[in-house]
Amino acid sequence: MITPVILCGGSGSRLWPLSRAARPKQLLPLLGDRTMLQMTASRTSDSTRFAAPVIVAGAQHADEIERQSAEIGIAAGALILEPAPRSTAPAIALAALFAEPERPMLVMPSDHLIRDEEAFFRAVEAALPAAAESCLVTFGVTPDRPETGYGYIRRGIEIAPGVHRAEQFIEKPHLAKAAALAGDGEHFWNSGIFLFRPDAYLHALREHSPAVFEAAAAAAAGARIDGARIEPEADAFARSPAISIDYAVMEKAEHVAVVPVEMGWSDVGCWDAIFDLGEKDGGGNISSGSVLAIDSKGCLIRSDGPSIVAVGVTDLLVLASGDAVLIVPRGQSQRVKEAVEALEARGNGTFG
């Protein structure tokens, strides 16, 4: 058995204006009818292989997460409500503290797409023996482009079938370096998906980031438990540094492995990715909501608010939600962050 741990924090400002503080990316149906969280939770619904998931999320989203889980017939084994976001290392520590200590946990962001789930499951199977021996296993995605927005992992010797020592973690590279890394067959994207025993993670965390370990342990000890909901003690949790699992543990620990996998993975990180992944109509457009596209090509047009009418428009991303409309050419959706920052600087709170 494996305990799925679903990390459901994060805001996804690159998907503004649909994603906002109250409705972050993982709670939105960005690709089809189900939300990203629902797609992630469904992935581990096979109860012969997976226990009920542990979900770590912001307290303000508890009701919506329970609603979305119920909609797909899944009940979280634990819903751990972070008093404040402190990045992934403390969030995973909370999950590890409340999970079966020796049962491997499969840590997954709640907002990634995996199109080839069988390949993913095969990689998890390959990783299980190493995880059982207290190795911290990460899954490395075979690059298909010189992406500068991800971290890379260099694989070392094969220590078990399909499992390699993780030789080096490389932070987001510049384009020339990314091109070299993506092309040499030895480097893989850091997917943010992990498999390890809770005790192995907590052991490594205590050794390499003791402040995170102590804060999480104290917050767990003082937690208020109400059915599946767990509310860690806020003051204790606030003392944790905000730090990712990569910085806090994976880059420092001794027994770290990587399982390379091609599984149709995407972090669905921007509107361009959503256009690329989605199904187009006869005009090469993707539209949803109150949208009328006349003689337009290669556009993503979504609205849950105003009616959008596009005439003679090409290769444009148009996203309308509530009282905000974003217009950006395809290929430039990374720049949405500029817009969100500018709006926040103006202080008109349109992002919130």
Interface residue with its own copies, options 177, 336, 347, 352 (CB under 8 A): 336
**CB neighbourhood size of 240 (10 A):** 26
Total residue count of the chain as it appears in this document: 352
State the nearest-atom distance from the C-beta of 327 to its own copies, in Å: 5
Number of neighbours of residue 212 by Cβ within 10 angstroms: 25
Q: Pick from 73, 312, 347, 352: which binds its own copies (CB under 8 A)?
A: 312
Considering the rule CB under 8 A, would residue 306 count as an interface residue with its own copies?
A: yes
Which of 277/324 has CB closer to its own copies? Answer: 324
d(CA 219, CA 274): 37
Q: Does 320 bind its own copies (CB under 8 A)?
A: yes
Site for its own copies in 88-117 (CB under 8 A): none
When binding is defined by CB under 8 A, the residue of 335, 344, 347, 352 that contacts its own copies is 335
In whole angstroms, the minimum distance from the beta carbon of 299 to its own copies comes to 9
Q: Which region, judged by CB under 8 A, interacts with its own copies, from 21-29, 101-109, 187-195, 336-344?
A: 336-344
Element (H, E) at 67: helix 62-71
Q: How far apart are CA 135 and CA 165, in angstroms?
A: 10
Whose Cβ is closer to its own copies: residue 42's or residue 350's? 350
Identity at 317, one-letter amino acid code: L
Verify binding: residue 17, its own copies, rule CB under 8 A: yes
Degrees (nearest 5) of the Cα angle 98, 103, 109? 65
Fill in the amino acid letter for 117.
E
Choosing from 241, 278, 305, 344, the residue that interacts with its own copies (CB under 8 A) is 305
* Residue 6 interacting with its own copies (CB under 8 A): no
Residue 11 CB, shortest distance to its own copies, in Å, is 17
Instruction: Please report whether residue 21 would count as binding its own copies according to CB under 8 A.
Output: no
- The reply on whether position 18 binds its own copies by CB under 8 A is no
Q: Which stretch binds its own copies (CB under 8 A): 141-149, 173-181, 183-191, 316-324?
A: 316-324
Of positions 161, 346, 347, 352, contacts its own copies by CB under 8 A: 346
Nearest-angstrom CA–CA distance, 126 and 112: 21
Residue 161: φ, ψ to 5° = -55, 115
**Binding of residue 310 to its own copies (CB under 8 A):** yes
Q: How many residues bind its own copies (CB under 8 A)?
A: 35
CA distances from 230 to 42, 80, 225 (A): 22, 5, 5
Q: Are 257 and 138 in contact (CB under 8 A)?
A: yes
Alpha-carbon span 172 to 46, nearest angstrom: 35
Q: Is the peptide bond before 329 cis (omega within 30 degrees of 0)?
A: no
In the bound state with its own copies, the residue whose beta carbon lies nearer, of 177 and 330, is 330
Residue 317 CB, shortest distance to its own copies, in Å, is: 9
Cβ at position 324, least distance to its own copies in Å: 5
What burial class does residue 41 get, using C-beta atoms within 10 Å of its C-beta: 0-12 exposed, 13-18 middle, 19+ buried? buried
Q: Which two tokens stand for residue 3?
A: 């305990």
Residues that bind its own copies (CB under 8 A): 17, 292, 294-295, 305-314, 316, 318, 320, 322-329, 332, 335-336, 338-339, 342-343, 346, 348, 350
